[in-house]
Chain A
Amino acid sequence: MEQIILQYTEFLTTNSFLLFAYLIGSVTFILGLKMLSHPETARKGNLIAAGGMIISIFGTIFLYKHHGNGLGNYAWIFAALVIGTIVGTMAAKKVQMTAMPEMVSLFNGMGGACAMLISMIEYHNDATPSTGKLLIIVLGMIIGTVSFAGSIIAWGKLNGSIKDKTIPGGQMINFLLFGGIIGLAIMVVGGFVGADMAHMLFYGITALAAMYGILFVMPIGGADMPVVISLLNSFTGVAAAFGGFLYDNPVMLTGGILVGSAGTILTILMCKAMNRSLKNVLIGSFGAAKTGGAAGAKDQGNYKEISLNDTAVLLAYAQKVMIVPGYGLAVAQAQHTCHELEKILNEKGVEVVYGIHPVAGRMPGHMNVLLAEADVPYEKLLEMEDANDQMGTTNVVMILGANDVVNPAAKEDPNSPIYGMPILEVEKADHVIVNKRSMKPGYAGIENELFFRPKTSMLFGDAKKVLQALIAELKTV
């Protein structure tokens, strides 16, 4: 006890400038997150947090002292910083708006891997740590590894290089893996095995954790991906916080825990938007439930197509048009064309609004970011409740590459895997025009009966090309 206090006071006196830097860092993270929650201050908030991060990083490099010794290996540290900065900036600048979710997932995985490596090195360096330290090292390693492996799979699934796979008995395997990880961790931390054995088991746990991360994300498909990324994001936060315990480092602790708790809340908010519980998302994946729902295409009848010309006339003589964007719009990079269509309709005296479903696209807010890129005014983006309120006074709803978020099965078919999810009730409007590339089901793999309803007309084609053609038509109407 005395020794601990001694260590602590020594830490305080030798590092008072550093502690002050860390305090600034912690405050900027809190301020940054707070400012990120308002559209006007969000960008500044991000920059403030980044500033705090820079202070904390350089403070650590130059001021950190342990038992009176500063850090060495500056050449290595700066080389790594420079490489990371150049690659990171290039990747972040080059990525397209559509690929943003993958990018976030990938960066998240890097953070997880970083936490994993730190634990490995600490374990390698200290052969006989105290039980408390060992516990922190092992837990940080497990969570970091799961987050790393899971994020890489999520990244691969979002960019299409990894397909959805349901492994038979996958849940059982996951359960066993989880049990195995806990069991081995207890053996290592509790000191129930010899030093050599413990060393082997430590890397055994790493391997199991990686497998768990892979198998945990693998079967989760479709619309649930944002939830998983958000969850993995909070995992990495917790892993960073374990690092904070390891080095008695307040800024790692605040930053990590803030993200851990904020990420968890964000995950729950997303689940709420889909009216599903987190457990439901993680266990009952969409992929497994695909057989249910409106898939039995028994009495769906025929869909009707509408020509470009008719669409243009319909739009031009409407009083109010609501555009419902989805991932199809993002894939086609049609956000600018969409904004042009909106401007032309405005010139013709048609009111245009956007109905934004919270989980449209691949991430919550994905559509907002995309439309903001095309300079669509903020006020025109209606959230789901407002959009549904205004649906009754809307003449034409134009659905651009959205599918599951307008699927009436969510309200009507208790067998559907998305039953209970709030949707945009487009059928309250007079006409519904659906732009899709084909009749293929959406990301969640569920048939959409909306396409066969009497009010609905289909307008096939790539969103961008269709919109460009529509604009040309509208100029002649």
Chain B
Amino acid sequence: MDQLTSFFNGNYHLITIVILSVFLGIEVISRVPAVLHTPLMSGANAIHGVVIIGAIIVMGEAKDGDFFSLILGFLAVVLGTLNVVGGFVVTDRMLEMFGKKKKK
């Protein structure tokens, strides 16, 4: 119980962010027309690529000679970058098509 309360006290600001973000996510998405579902899914996919920040921190803190961390961390940064860059580029490609027909 003690551990639980101290966890809550130590992380209450993060817990607040979590709860508010849950509601925000629901609010923002509920208004999306079906037309944009695919690009939206793809855009959201790119945004969760933010996990790459964790990979960068892990990689940057790895000690010399700790090859377990260095190699897995390297892999994690590569995969995270793929998620971010690939996600945003694919989404942009989809939306580019929506833009094209608008000008006419």
Contact = CB atoms under 8 A, between A and B. Distances in A.
B16 to A, nearest CB: 10
A266 B53 contact: no
Contact of B74 (A80, A113, A269): A80
A245 interface: yes
A74 B40 CA distance: 33
Interface string A296-311: 0000000000000000
Interface string B43-54: 111111111111
Interface in B41-74: 41-62, 66, 68-70, 72-74
A24 to B, nearest CB: 13
B43 A369 contact: no
6 contacts: A53-B47, A107-B86, A110-B82, A244-B54, A256-B50, A383-B33
A37 interface: yes
Contact of A40 (B29, B69, B102): B102
Given A81-B81, A104-B38, A381-B35, 14 more contacts: A46-B91, A53-B84, A57-B53, A87-B82, A108-B83, A111-B45, A120-B72, A124-B69, A237-B44, A250-B17, A255-B47, A255-B50, A364-B41, A365-B36
A93 B86 CA distance: 9
Nearest to B10: A4
A32 interface: yes
Interface stretch (A257-265, A418-426, A465-473): A257-265
Interface in A52-99: 53, 56-57, 60-61, 64, 66, 69-74, 76-77, 79-81, 83-85, 87-89, 91-93, 95
A114 interface: yes
Contact of A257 (B17, B57, B80, B92): B17
B33 to A, nearest CB: 7
B37 A269 contact: yes
Contacts of B40: 33, 36-37, 262, 266, 365
A272 B99 CA distance: 29
Given A37-B33, A71-B61, A118-B54, A30 B49 contact: no
Nearest to B75: A117
Contacts of A34: 28
A45 B43 contact: yes
A476 B39 CA distance: 40
A363 B37 contact: yes
B104 A71 contact: no
A260 B25 contact: yes
Contacts of B44: 33, 233, 237, 258-259, 262-263, 266
Interface residues of A, number: 121
A438 interface: no
A376 B74 CA distance: 44
A250 B14 contact: yes
Contacts of A108: 45, 48, 83
A372 B99 CA distance: 9
A76 B59 contact: yes
A88 B84 contact: yes
Chain B contact patch, size range:
35 or more
Contacts of B97: 369, 372-373
A239 B78 contact: no
Given A30-B24, A233-B48, A372-B97, A42 B36 contact: yes
Contacts of A49: 43, 46-47, 88
B26 interface: yes
Interface in A223-270: 229-230, 233, 236-237, 239-241, 243-263, 265-266, 269-270
A197 to B, nearest CB: 19
A336 B72 CA distance: 45
B70 A73 contact: yes
A113 B70 CA distance: 16
A50 interface: yes
A121 B74 CA distance: 11
B86 A243 contact: no
Contacts of B72: 117, 120-121
A110 B83 contact: yes
